[in-house]
Amino acid sequence: MNQDQLKICFVSSEVVPFSKTGGLADVAGALCKFLGRQGVDVRLFTPFYDTIDTRKFTFYPVTFLQQIPLEMGSRQFLFNVLTAQLPGSEVDVYFVDCPALYHRGRLYTEDPDEYLRFAFLSRAAIECCQRMGWGPHIFHCNDWQTALIPLYLKTLYSWDGLFRHSKTVLTIHNIGYQGQFSSSILHELGLGAHRNLFWQDDLAVGMVNFLKTGILYADMLTTVSETYAREIQTEAYGAGLHPFLQMRANSLVGIVNGVDYEEWNPETDPYIPYHYSIRDLAGKEKDKAYLLNQLGLTFEPHVPLYGIVSRLTAQKGFDLLFDCLFDILAHNAIRFVVLGSGESRYEEFFQSAQQAFPDKFCFYRGYSNELAHLIEAGADMFVMPSRYEPCGLNQIYSLKYGTIPIVRKTGGLADTVQNYDWVSQTGTGFVFEHFTSDGLRWAMGSAYETYQHRDAWLKLMRNAMSQNFSWEVQGQKYIALYWRVAGRSG
């Protein structure tokens, strides 16, 4: 094997195009594709969920990874490993097949064994590396689900010389989800003998916290934007983990996510009926007419269309619309489309907006990749008033589609969208600072006003579309980081 080839074991609970609930899946798929193309030996481990469409991809059993026993406390599991290629690359994705844990009809559950499902994934990835005789330079862990890997390597697998030089990187995609469970599970994690290595104040109140454990033991921590890296060290954004992140500040870096322009590009997008580019925007208006027609809304020239595609959770800040949306709909000639699902208070609110303004507002409750692409292409503006946003991908997709983002200045939104300035005609969107309805109303109003001035709007669209957040740029930062953590220069 090439001694200079970087070896990365990437472990993620979701991966595009196989499984997805949010941006983690896009990042796992696209970053690994990029790494593979750079000649990195990257092996991606993820669960074989029953929701994966087995007709779309070809899966092969890995002959030497069948019927592998794995003991979790007093429970004995057997798992198999299947492999498939990450589309557009030669990267092998290894699927951990254990029906008892991953056949639940969805990726994440509130079942009492949720901790076990992902502790199992973490251990299975390590066990597979052992059977492959493969000692990666880096185990790249993502979010709470795989945050125990650093501790596992330092305890249960410390005897194995294969991992003598292996280091760990933990990426925090969202600090709002930490994996907090009763400390009675330690035995089942296989870590009963290592109680002393968990945060003792948590144990004192009968808890363990997966993400915190990862923050304590990973060699390097990353998060998905520079602003979020700073924010999570503060009480307001740290969700209780800020003291730990402050403690590890020297080992924490922010790298803004890249996006996969092979998937998200109005010049080639297979989901949209009319292609367009920064040089020829004609298709965008036609996509808008098509989208509105599909939604049962009428198209009128010069009437802007606002769009939302999102998980409907408190993080995304839609509470700010509670106070102003009806008023905005009542007094302005606009169209508005929302695609998403989640907490019932948001679903009910959007449902009621549709009932009150059936000619202007459409709520599509659910998940549809195709409609997400159509909205990116057909809308004029994209609304993301997040309470917090580690990175956010939709505003970056929006930029490429000339769909002007209206965002709150937080996390990755602050790092990827600049407020439009009338005088210098610079900027790529509308950015409001304080988490208030007035702030959002101001930004939506500014967008509305600017939209009425065709030349200014075209300039704004071109500013947005010329932004480049490709993995070619961002991925190099990970490669440099991996080498640094591995203790070598690349």
Task: List residues near ligand GLC by CB under 6 A.
Answer: 22-24, 27, 173-174, 224, 257, 389-393, 412
Least gap, CB of 62 to ligand ADP (angstroms): 29
Nearer to ligand ADP, 125 or 339 (CB): 339
Residue 72 contacts by C-beta under 8 Å, 6 or more apart in sequence?
116, 119, 120, 123, 188, 189, 190
Take residue 227 and report the two structure tokens written for it: 């602003």
Residue 486 contacts by C-beta under 8 Å, 6 or more apart in sequence?
6, 137, 138, 165, 167
Least gap, CB of 362 to ligand ADP (angstroms): 14
Least gap, CB of 22 to ligand GLC (angstroms): 4
Nearer to ligand GLC, 224 or 377 (CB): 224
Nearer to ligand GLC, 173 or 288 (CB): 173
Phi first, then psi, for residue 177 (nearest 5°) are: -120, 115
The listed partner (ligand ADP, ligand GLC, none) that binds 311, CB under 5 to 8 Å by sort, is: ligand ADP
Least gap, CB of 211 to ligand ADP (angstroms): 16
Token pair 């001694």 in the structure block, residue = 3
CA gap 361, 335 in Å, rounded: 6
Residue number of the CB atom closest to ligand ADP: 23
Computed on alpha carbons and rounded to an integer, the radius of gyration of the chain in Å comes to: 23
The listed partner (ligand GLC, ligand ADP, none) that binds 394, CB under 5 to 8 Å by sort, is: ligand ADP
Nearer to ligand ADP, 94 or 388 (CB): 388
Nearer to ligand GLC, 186 or 391 (CB): 391
Residue of 405, 355, 403 whose CA lies nearest to 379: 403
Query: Residue 342 carries which DSSP code?
Result: E
The listed partner (ligand GLC, ligand ADP, none) that binds 427, CB under 5 to 8 Å by sort, is: none
Query: Residue 230 carries which DSSP code?
Result: H
The listed partner (ligand ADP, ligand GLC, none) that binds 310, CB under 5 to 8 Å by sort, is: ligand ADP
Least gap, CB of 260 to ligand GLC (angstroms): 12
Residue number of the CB atom closest to ligand GLC: 23
Residue 324 contacts by C-beta under 8 Å, 6 or more apart in sequence?
437, 440, 441, 444
Residue of 352, 319, 267 whose CA lies nearest to 440: 319
Torsion sign, CA atoms 211, 387, 338, 323: positive
Kindly list the residues in this chain that would bind ligand ADP in the complex (CB under 6 A): 22-23, 26, 309-311, 339-341, 367-369, 372, 391-394
Contact 29, 260 (CB under 8 A): yes
Least gap, CB of 390 to ligand ADP (angstroms): 7
Nearer to ligand ADP, 83 or 368 (CB): 368
Least gap, CB of 117 to ligand GLC (angstroms): 18
The listed partner (ligand GLC, ligand ADP, none) that binds 224, CB under 5 to 8 Å by sort, is: ligand GLC
Take residue 405 and report the two structure tokens written for it: 């983002």
Which residues make beta-bridge pairs with 84? Answer: 93
